[in-house]
Structure 1
Amino acid sequence: YLTALEARHYVERSPDGANYQLGLAFRAHDRRGVELLTETAEPVLTALRDRLTETVNLGVLDGSRVIHTLVAESPYMMRLAARVGERGLVHSTALGKAMCAELPSDKVRSILKIHGMPARTEATITDPEAYLEELERVRAQGWAVDDEENQVAGRCLAVVIPSLDFPAAVSVSAPIDRMPSEQVPVVAKQLQRAAQTIARKLSA
């Protein structure tokens, strides 16, 4: 029963993984905030998708998982695209890294203990200390990168949305051959501008 309730966001695991607590579906304040964020972000991220012609995502941290609340899919037949409502692991996704980089290290360790750090690909970071070092790099450069860590031949960049009451981030996902490493800083800057625009609209 708890597994079914967790899948529908009525409960979530506590940070230590030993107990359950009310999930996003019951937290009216958080739910309204996520709904407003998604509504505000949609035109910004749709425009970004149209400029980049790659899939653009909005995600929030729901307990110990990343949940996609908005997905603007690439027009290409070959594309990377999650589904709205899909939940991902924090350690193998750029969205997860971007949001975890905003959290204290002890909170990140607690989150990692809940589901472990399974290897999604050969490139997945599976050691907590290596992951914390990765988060230091995210903080230093201002964006997170998933280089074939969640899906083979896929690359994803993410930046956190500033000034929110809950962790949220935006990302761009693409086959790695359409997003070469030299393009990463250029795309990241566009993501940062989009995140700042969303934050400004929310505070207006």
Structure 2
Amino acid sequence: MGQVTAEFIGLISQPEIEKFLKDLTPSPTDLMLTKGLGLIQYHRWSDAETNLRKVIQDQPQSGTALLGLAKSLLAQNKAKDALDILKKFPSSREYNNAEVLRPLAEALIQTTPEPENPDLEAIYLRALNLIKAGKFPPALDGLLELIRQDKNFRKGQARKIVIAVLEILGEENDLTRQYRAELANILF
């Protein structure tokens, strides 16, 4: 069902009616933003990037567009570009979601092994390579196995990366619900 978005009472002039109707119609930038976010849901990362960059040209401080762009860049293994956006992210309601993505962007850029536990390190690096290739389910499987073996691996880095990948996939994705539940079972 629709919602009341605006209303008026009594007689109004022709210019007031035109302004009223104009205010109800989404702008081309708003439509482009909606399209870009929709493309993310369908994992059409490159198309989403193109649309969201157009939105950012018109609205450079749009937290929604910047977050969507960072997600699409990370999904395409453009971690440096994503990290640049995340480091300068504006204060907005999307700020916390952007902060969730930072550990993943940083990990994809700096994939140097730590010598403490070579077996777990191999799982971790393999998972990062799978993420770079856009193969999120096997990457998540590897990271969850790593967390099962060492919940504090790299000071919680594996857990943070799982959460970041789930953020990229989006709350409405069935994989997100499945892997979030599995992560909760492992941690608690």
Q: Calculate the TM-score normalised by the size of structure 1.
A: 0.27
Structure having the larger proportion of residues in helix: 2
The answer to which structure has the higher strand fraction is: 1
Bigger relative CO (Cα 8 Å, ≥ 6 apart): 1
TM-score scaled by length of structure 2:
0.29
